Amino acid sequence: MKQTIIKYGLFSLITASVLFFLALTLGKSLPYSTQEIIGYLSMITSLSFVFLGIKYFRDKENNGKVSFGKALVIGVLISAFAGIGFGIMDYVYTTQINPNFASEYLEKSLEVMKVSLSPEEFEIKKAELTQQMQQYGGSGFMAFIMFATVVIIGFIISLLSALFLQRK
C-alpha cells in the first residue's frame, strides 16, 4: 500500500506542478476567471491518479479486493501529494515569480466589479474584497489555502473512487 501511495502520489505531485507552471506561463494573458477554470481542471487532472492508484492497489497488489476504508485512505494520501505540489508552486509563484499577485488580483477584480455593479454595491464589494485580501496575509497562507482546496477536492474524488472500486 505504501509503495502505491508514494508512486501515484509522486505522479500526482509532478502532474500538479507541471500543469500549474504551464497554466502560469501559457495563460498569464487570460482573464482571471478563465485562469481559475484552467486551475480547477489542472487539479482534477492531477487528482485522476487517486482513482488510478486505488485501482492499481486493488487489482495488482491486493488480489482484486479493497475495502472502502482502505481505498479512501489511499485516495486521500495521494491527494495530499497533489496538494503539496500545488501549494509549493503557489508559494513559489507568489514569492518569487510574481510577488505582486495579491495586489494585481485585487486591482483586476475591482475593475471587473466596477463595470458590473452599481456605485453603492461596488463600494460594499470593494471593502469586502479588500478586507479578505488583507486577512489572507502572505504567500504562506495562500499556499495553504491552495493545498487545502486540492485536498478537499481530492477527498471527494477519493470518496467516489472508493465507492466505485471497493470489492470484498
Residue 134 has pLDDT above 90, yes or no: no
Highest average pLDDT, of 20-24, 26-30, 64-68, comes from 64-68
Grid cell of 89 as nine digits: 508552486
Section 102-123 average pLDDT: 79
Grid cell of 154 as nine digits: 481530492
Summarize pLDDT for 137-147 with one digit per residue, the tens.
678 888 898 99
